[in-house]
Amino acid sequence: MTIKRQSLWLVIAGLAMAATVWRSESQQDPTTAKDKVREIAIKAEKARYNNKTGITTFTGNVVVTQSGEKFEMTADRVEYEEETDSAVATGNLTFKDPDTTITGNKIHSFFGEKKALITGNVKLTSQGKAKKGDEGKRDGSLRDRYKKKKTTMTCDQIEYLYSDGKAVATGNLKFTQEDKKGAAKKATYLEEEEQIILEEDVEVINEKGEKLRCRKATIYIDDDSMEAEGVEAVLIRKEAKKEKVEGPKSVKPETSTESKPAPEPEPKPDAEKPAE
């Protein structure tokens, strides 16, 4: 890759103004370079360029963008390597586009390949795509609400092809999607197709507690459906409680509550009179 070194030094000289914008061009055929210019913009509080290694180190609220792409990468520190046209970002980093946000301990971006490799405590969050014209609407059809479901994925590593909207996650992989959660050895998230493809030792658990184990599963976020191969399922069905049928109640004879009159005392015999 050829670098406009004069522009680079002008950028570094302007660091006293607290922000820098650095531009590079990828390797081009000289006859067509003017038609295929690709720009990488980097803003930071400080920068240091090493002419021997061809590495520029940016620190302090670093923001990286690429012309023609919708992503934005932010970090505390970014090292850009001239020879490989790549950058390594660390510290409070995020990599996001309009639909997806990825965080982790380290991001290695390859600008020529339009690829980012995120490693260490990786988390991908996607809110799903809203239909045009529905951005401000609270209600919508069931189909539209499913399309907006939040999907979260955690793992050890994600390879994200940001131009294609494709992310491949591996290592201690788990995911949640509002009404379901699961795990697998590998997951491929296809942003445009609204799909998550899970592979190897797949387990999915829905909100009812039902479990699905399989070798491969494809979740269609668009309509909240799923296809699976090599399936073992545990379904939960609640039985309706049967009401007890009571027999006729026995009727007890009514007892009078009126009190009977007390019996009159028998008259006592007259006592014998003494003889006169």
| C-beta of residue 170 within 8 angstroms of C-beta of residue 189 | no
pLDDT at position 163:
85
Same domain as 163, residue 31: no
pLDDT of 127 above 60: yes
Task: Please report the sign of the dihedral spanned by the C-alpha atoms of residue 45, residue 110, residue 193, residue 225.
Answer: negative
**Is 111 found in the same domain as 65?**
no
With respect to residue 19, please indicate whether it lies within any of the assigned structural domains.
yes
| More confident position, 254 or 142 | 254
Beta bridge pairs of residue 74: 63, 94
What was the pLDDT predicted at 40?
Answer: 87
Cβ within 8 Å of residue 74, ≥6 positions away:
61, 62, 63, 64, 92, 93, 94
The pLDDT tens digits of the residues spanning 10-63 come to 333 333 223 334 444 434 444 444 456 678 899 999 999 999 999 999 999 999
Same domain, 54 and 110: no
Segments forming the whole domain that contains residue 70? 1-96
The pLDDT of residue 148? 58
Instruction: Check which CATH number belongs to the domain holding 205 and give it.
Output: 2.60.450.10
Could you give the percent of the chain with pLDDT greater than 90?
A: 42
Instruction: Grade residue 98 by pLDDT with cuts at 50, 70 and 90.
Output: confident
| Of 20-29, 68-77, 231-240, the least confident | 20-29
Instruction: Please state the rounded mean pLDDT for residues 222-249.
Output: 79
